Amino acid sequence: MLGALLTLLRPSPAEMGRVAGRELGTCTVGLIGMNTTARKLTRLLQALGSRVVGYDPTLHASDPQWTRWGVQPLGLRELFESAEAVCVQLNYYSRYRGLLGERALPHAKQGQVLVSVSPAAMFDDDVLAQVLDSGRLAAAWLDNVGPGVIESGQPLYGAPGLLVTPRLSAYTREARVRSAWGVARRVDEVLRTLPPVARPGIRRRPLGPGAAAGVSGASTPAAKIRPAATAGLAASPASR
């Protein structure tokens, strides 16, 4: 998201010697949704010198977490009125459909840029197209757009300053490795705490080659079970 912000704020000048773009460190950045992604982004923005304001429908303005994060809580309209850049990473639920519409987008600060990794359903397409056409919103980057969302004849088709990508932010080798290991760890945690349903009288013990053979009642000697088959779940990529 930080890279997307820098791209939108500093477009390449059309002519050599022409001054263009803005420095992110001088901007007020509004965050919509204070999840883990937003909190990590907050630290990066603050390191650059940006002032960070935020809106989250699940957090009250008096919640002490705002102070701990160093983020000023604002209402949705106030956030759009005060920020030069807005990042949307709010976890999507059906009640948030069209949340970013008439009550927010028309109040965008002139020349504002917007980056969103939330589903496109979070936006009112007609209103977003209007603020892009008017130039009030200088650019918008939507990084969670599925097939059929923007086609010929639809409001956002051909809107100036609009960039769309099919959720590219998580398509890296590192992200896929983290996801795979996260699933493996959760499966391992479940297996380690699962009661022996077939023989409930057996004392619960850590999952391992010997325990696996004992719980299942199989006659296969523990020595024949490959250690890597069970140890691999608990290991981490760094330990290999």
Sign of CA dihedral 105, 109, 110, 111: negative
pTM above 0.85, yes or no: no
Q: Are residues 148 and 103 in the same domain?
A: yes
In this structure, the answer to whether residues 22 and 140 fall within a common structural domain is yes
pLDDT above 50 for 219: no
Domain boundary among 164, 189, 208: 164
Mean pLDDT of 206-216: 50
Helix (H, G, I), strand (E, B) or coil at 73: strand
Query: Could you tell me if 197 and 129 lie in one domain?
Result: no
Last residue of a domain, one of 135, 164, 193: 164
Higher pLDDT, 145 or 27: 27
172 vs 229, higher pLDDT = 172
Count CB neighbours of 205 within 10 A: 12
Q: For residue 82, with 0-12 CB atoms within 10 Å meaning exposed, 13-18 middle and 19 or more buried, which class applies?
A: middle
Pair 6, 71 in one domain: yes
Check whether residue 159 and residue 178 sit in a common domain. no
pLDDT in tens, 58-86: 999 999 999 999 999 999 999 999 999 99
Taking 50 as the threshold, does the pLDDT of residue 221 lie above it? no
Residue 184 and residue 71 in one domain: no
CA dist 80 and 62 (Å) reads: 20
Give the end of a domain, one of 142, 164, 186: 164
**CATH code, domain with 49:** 3.40.50.720
Same domain, 147 and 206: no
Whether 46 and 106 share a structural domain: yes
> Which domain, by its residues, includes 37?
2-164
Examine the domain organization and report whether 49 and 145 are in the same domain.
yes
Mean pLDDT of 173-202: 81
**pLDDT > 60? residue 32:** yes
Size of the chain in residues? 240
Mean pLDDT of the chain: 80
More confident residue, 216 or 87: 87
Q: Is residue 200 scored above 80 in pLDDT?
A: no
The rounded distance, in Å, linking the Cα atoms of 25 and 6 is 10
Same domain, 158 and 213: no
Number of domains in the chain: 2
Instruction: Return the pLDDT at 203.
Output: 53
Query: Are residues 38 and 79 both part of a single domain?
Result: yes
